[in-house]
C-alpha cells in the first residue's frame, strides 16, 4: 500500500463513512509547538499531536534528541486520539510531510497497518478547495488500538556503522551539515563514515508533494540503492529520516531507520565522524539533480525551519 493519500482521495474516504482518523502533526525546529497553527486552521475532525511530547521520549546523549516513546505510553496517547484497531490513520503537517512522516513511521512500526501521509500536506488540502476547521475540536471517543513495536526494520549505532560496507546508508540532513560545515543542534559536526548525503527535501516537488515514484526510483538508484542490498536512513534525531523511509517506500524499497540518528552518534565521543563531500554514489547519475552535494547548482537542501 502506498504511504501517500491525495487530498481529494482523503475527502472521498472521509465521505464514505467512519473509520478514518486524522492526525495534525505540525512541528519544526524553528516552531516546535504546532498547536497555534492547528487552531488557526486544520482538517475537520483532526486531532493535534505534539511530536516532542507524544511521538518522542525525552532525549538523552545515548538515545539522541527524539527517542521512540515507550510503546505503552504511545498506545495510551493513540487511544486518546481515538485510534481503533483495523482503522485507517492519515497524518499531515504544514511542511511537505517532513514532520508527519514521524507519525507515519512510528504508528506503522507499532503495528497499525494502514497509516498514510497526506501528500502535499495542509497546503494541498487548502489548494484543493476542501473545508478547513478553525479552533479546537471536541475530544474524540476513546479508541481501543493495541500497539507493539517491531513492524518496521530499525538499526542501532553499531548496525549503522557496519551498513555502508554491504548496503547504503542515507543521511537525510542538509548537505552542509553532512559535510560538517555547520551543526546548529548536535555536539559534533559531520556524518557517519560511509554514509551518503541525501537531503530529505530532494524527495519533494516545488509544491511540497512527493516526487513521482519513477523519479524517486531514479533518484535513489543514482545513490546506489538496489533491491538486493539493505538501505537505511538517518538524520539529526530520527524525524526527517522517516520521510526518507517513506520516499523509498513510494519508490518501491523497504528501508530501515536509525532512530537515534546523528544526535545519538555525535553524542558518543567514541564514534568516528567523517567530513567533506560524499563519496561517489554507486549508481547511475540522476539527471534531476547534481550528484556532488558541494556543487553550487544543487537545489536548496531544506526550507527554513524544516525538521531534522
Tell me how crowded residue 175 is: count the other CB atoms within 10 A of its CB.
Answer: 24
Least confident residue range of 46-60, 145-159, 229-243, 290-304: 290-304
| 138 catalytically annotated | no
Query: pTM higher than 0.85, yes or no?
Result: yes
Is 209's pLDDT higher than 60?
A: yes
Q: What is the pLDDT of residues 119-159, one digit of tens each?
A: 999 999 999 999 999 999 999 999 999 999 999 999 999 99
Cell for 212? 513521482
Gap between the Cα atoms of 66 and 52, Å rounded: 7
Say what percent of the chain tops pLDDT 90: 87
pLDDT value at position 287? 52
Structural domains present in the chain: 4-127 (3.40.250.10), 157-266 (3.40.250.10)
Determine the 3-state secondary structure of 168 from DSSP: strand
- Which position among 235, 239, 246, 247 bears the catalytic label? 235
**How far, in Å, CA of 248 to CA of 181, rounded?**
27
Average pLDDT over residues 33-52: 96
- The pLDDT of residue 295 is 33
End-to-end CA distance of the chain: give it in Å, rounded. Answer: 26
Alpha-carbon span 71 to 77, nearest angstrom: 10
Q: Are 244 and 220 in contact (CB under 8 A)?
A: no
Asked if the model's pLDDT at residue 289 lies above 70, the reply is: no
Q: In this model, does residue 38 exceed pLDDT 50?
A: yes
Asked if 95 and 307 touch (Cβ cutoff 8 Å), the reply is yes
Beta bridge partners of 168: 231
Cα–Cα dist 261/235, whole Å: 5
**Can you tell me the mean pLDDT for 210-236?**
96
- Decide: helix, strand or coil at residue 23: strand
Amino acid 19: pLDDT:
93
Please tell me the distance from the alpha carbon of residue 90 to that of residue 78, in angstroms, as a whole number.
13
At 246 the pLDDT is 98
Amino acid at each position: 500500500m502506498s504511504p501517500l493519500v491525495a487530498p481529494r482521495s482523503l475527502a472521498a474516504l472521509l465521505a464514505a463513512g467512519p473509520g478514518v482518523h486524522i492526525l495534525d502533526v505540525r512541528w519544526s525546529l524553528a516552531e516546535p509547538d504546532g498547536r497555534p497553527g492547528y487552531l488557526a486552521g486544520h482538517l475537520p475532525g483532526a486531532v493535534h499531536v505534539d511530536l516532542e511530547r507524544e511521538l518522542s521520549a525525552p532525549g538523552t546523549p545515548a538515545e539522541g534528541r527524539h527517542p521512540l516513546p515507550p510503546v505503552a505510553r504511545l498506545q495510551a496517547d493513540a487511544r486518546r486520539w481515538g485510534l481503533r484497531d483495523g482503522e485507517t490513520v492519515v497524518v499531515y503537517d504544514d511542511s511537505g510531510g517532513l514532520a508527519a512522516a514521524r507519525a507515519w513511521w512510528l504508528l506503522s512500526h507499532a503495528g497499525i497497518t494502514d497509516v498514510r501521509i497526506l501528500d502535499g500536506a495542509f497546503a494541498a488540502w487548502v489548494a484543493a478547495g476542501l473545508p478547513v476547521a478553525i479552533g479546537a475540536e471536541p475530544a474524540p471517543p476513546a479508541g481501543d488500538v493495541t500497539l507493539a513495536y517491531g513492524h518496521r526494520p530499525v538499526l542501532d549505532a553499531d548496525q549503522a556503522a557496519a551498513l555502508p560496507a554491504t548496503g547504503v546508508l542515507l543521511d537525510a540532513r542538509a548537505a552542509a551539515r553532512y559535510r560538517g560545515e555547520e551543526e546548529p543542534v548536535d555536539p559534533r559536526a559531520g556524518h557517519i563514515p560511509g554514509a551518503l548525503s541525501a537531503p530529505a527535501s530532494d524527495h519533494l516537488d516545488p509544491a511540497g508533494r512527493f516526487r513521482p515514484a519513477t523519479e524517486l526510483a531514479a533518484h535513489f538508484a543514482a545513490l546506489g540503492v538496489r533491491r538486493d542490498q539493505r538501505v537505511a536512513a538517518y538524520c539529526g534525531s530520527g524525524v526527517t529520516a522517516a520521510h526518507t523511509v517513506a520516499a523509498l517506500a513510494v519508490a518501491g524499497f523497504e528501508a530501515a531507520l536509525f532512530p537515534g540518528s546523528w544526535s545519538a552518534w555525535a553524542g558518543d565521543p567514541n564514534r568516528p565522524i567523517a567530513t567533506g563531500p560524499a563519496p561517489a554514489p554507486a549508481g547511475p547519475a540522476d539527471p534531476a539533480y547534481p550528484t556532488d552535494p558541494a556543487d553550487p547548482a544543487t537545489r536548496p537542501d531544506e526550507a527554513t525551519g524544516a525538521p531534522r
